[in-house]
Amino acid sequence: MAEERRGSWFGFGFCGFGQALGSGRGRQVHSPEPLQTPGEGEGADVCRVSASWSYTAFVTRGGRLELSGSAGCAAGGCRDAWASEALLVVLRAGPGRGSGTELQAWAPGSALSGEPLWAHTVGPEAEGEDAPGGEPQAGALPLLPGGRAYVSPRPPFYSPLAPELRARRLELGAEHALLLDEAGQVFSWGQGRHGQLGHGTLEAELEPRPLEALQGVPMAEVAAGGWHSVCVSETGDIYIWGWNESGQLALPSRSLAEVGKTAAGEASGLKEDGCDVRTAEDAVKASCGSRHTAVVTRTGELYTWGWGKYGQLGHKDTSSLDRPRRVEYFVDRRLQSFLFSTDQSNQKVIWPGRKKNQYIFLKGKYTHFNLFLRIYLYFKNRTCIRLSSMADTDQIHAGEF
């Protein structure tokens, strides 16, 4: 039954740095456990969670930022936070309306004391993005409010976006970026060696390039894993492409086949046609770990697949999967309606290195573009899932491992 309270957060996966994940015992949590949010305890009004590999950032509706894990601190006046290993980026509200918002980048261990590594004032036009109730719209980072620029953990830290892009959402992978515009068109750029850009080649793209194969299908969501990409259409279909080394595309993965874990028939490399697995309901949210995927359906069910070594799939074991599987924990408790914040991780057998300028090999093992009307989910090493009776704002972030 739907409850009227705001909702609880649950987490599972890697927690080797003592991040507030479930019981906090041991280095891994294999099945969802209620999140111990630091400071105010359970029921703290957390509206945004950004998970990096070794620490997690929580932002409450009251603007309070809490860090848990390898970095720990608390600070006020934060509208949004984005956690990565190299950098913690926060959006801090000015003292009053009209005084502007400041984007700050901190070293995660700095506890937000002293001076930020850099700071950038976000223009007042961004203030207009607030919801009618005056509540700041959390959860757009790494895209800045106003959609004119984005942050990344690697130089250049602050990158402007062409205004004609009308960016609505932006997600960063290990070496690529995905952008969703107001019209539902998906763009991608960055490295393409694993097919993660979806343009049908392995070439890199320097500037945002629209995905021609998806034109005409308005998308509602995008998510980026380390080396793969997902988007959800307005009608609830999921499209996915990129590296499949751990089954994160929900396609038969050769490396999983080698250890006898693939469920489907013969493992193959390039595959243009769809795969037979589907989930019963439409998808509404997707989120990616570096090497796994998660999707939530309209009826509030959570499906996960891909890399599972740290229990990040939430199926009470450490197997990787190349087919979507429902996380039964939530079904058993009849909890509905999820939001996500997930984190990254990856795996493959292939050896990465030809050095210097020797002839560069062409990988035949990946699936470089697949159109799927299926649900594919990726989780990174850790997944925090919020359960709520109301599916309010969309918050899907790709953190780091």
Q: Which residues bind other proteins (CB under 8 A)?
A: 14, 16-17, 27, 53-55, 70-71, 85-86, 107-109, 174-175, 191, 193, 201-204, 226-227, 254, 269-270, 290, 309, 344-365, 401
Residue with tokens 């090493």: 381
Burial string for 115-141 (b: 16+ CB within 10 Å, else e) reads ebeeebebeeebbeeeeeeeebebbbb
DSSP 237-256: -EEEEE--TTSTTSS--HHH
* Cα separation, 260 vs 258, whole angstroms: 5
> ∠ CA(235), CA(285), CA(375), 5° rounding?
70
Task: Identify the CA nearest to 250 among candidates 278, 221, 219.
Answer: 278
Least distance CB 155 / other proteins (angstroms): 12
Is there a contact between 253 and 245 (Cβ–Cβ < 8 Å)?
A: yes
Tell me how far apart the alpha carbons of residues 252 and 265 are, in angstroms, rounded to a whole number: 7
Which among 321, 345, 349, 173 is positioned nearest to 251, based on CA atoms? 321
